[in-house]
Amino acid sequence: MNDFLTNFAVQKQKEMIPSVTEHEKRKSAAVPEPAIRRMPSYLTLLRELSSEGQEYISAPRLAVHLDIDPTQVVKDLAYTGASGRPRVGYIVADLIEILEEFLGFNRKHEAFLVGAGYLGGALIQYQGFREAGMKIVAAFDIDKKKIGTDISGVPVFDLAKFRDLAGRLHITIGIITTPSSSAQQIADLMVGWGIKAIWNFAPIAIKVPSHVIVQNTHIYSNLAVILNKLEHSR
């Protein structure tokens, strides 16, 4: 789930955060996507090590924990501006702070979700988003039985109210957890209503203009890979 947040964070660095310098924007733009996708794993591990009281970590040890080549670890972290000390390695607390800043996980990101069913409800209740600074502040649906209710304190509104609320609250992230038959229509509406980044969980690839960030997360596809590998391992 961190993939979308990472993509969005980097885009925020390049386009939407005034405090970022032009030099930092160029640096973010030059970071290969595979490196960005590995960074949340570094951050998760470092947080665990910090909670255990570990103060320093070397690139080789990080590599062992994450099954990555040590040279790759050094290259990845260098994109953030982090550098280790000879014979000591990286200071864990400092590296956590650097990664959180680089990824944008120390900033606040609010999102609207469309599709207040089982999957949508699970995402709303998922506590891990807090570690990335993201919060789903409202859900939307067309089912009259769901409209006016709430999921763990997050209100469910009629879809017709999305545009007005998005504008008033300056929401730029939209999450789609609808059936595939309506996903593209919802994506089109989101784009028209000013959403700049869409996280799509519907089992269909949506099409959006080039200026809109999109992350398609297809659970069925991942399940197919697991089942296929299991079948061929027998």
Spatial distance between the Cα atoms of 61 and 8, rounded to a whole number of angstroms: 29
pLDDT tens for 35-68 read: 998 999 999 999 999 999 999 999 999 999 999 9
- Residue 85 sits at φ, ψ, to 5 deg, of -100, 145
Res 6: pLDDT? 53
Q: How confident is the model at residue 22 (pLDDT cuts 50, 70, 90)?
A: very low
Spatial distance between the Cα atoms of 78 and 60, rounded to a whole number of angstroms: 15
pLDDT tens for 175-230 read: 999 999 999 999 999 999 999 999 999 999 999 999 999 998 888 787 888 888 88
pLDDT tens for 102-144 read: 998 888 999 999 999 999 999 999 988 888 889 999 999 999 9
Q: Quick one: tokens of 218?
A: 């297809």
Residues of the chain with CATH 1.10.10.10: 2-103
What is the number of H-type helices and E-type strands within the chain?
A: 10, 9
For the segment(s) 2-103, the CATH number from 1.10.10.10, 1.10.3720.10, 3.20.20.70, 3.40.50.2300 is 1.10.10.10
What's the pTM?
A: 0.77
Res 233: pLDDT? 81
Residues of the chain with CATH 3.40.50.720: 109-222
Angstrom CA distances, 17 to 21, 22, 32, 80, 134, stand at 9, 11, 20, 17, 16
Spatial distance between the Cα atoms of 84 and 211, rounded to a whole number of angstroms: 36
| CATH superfamily of the domain spanning 109-222 | NAD(P)-binding Rossmann-like Domain (3.40.50.720)
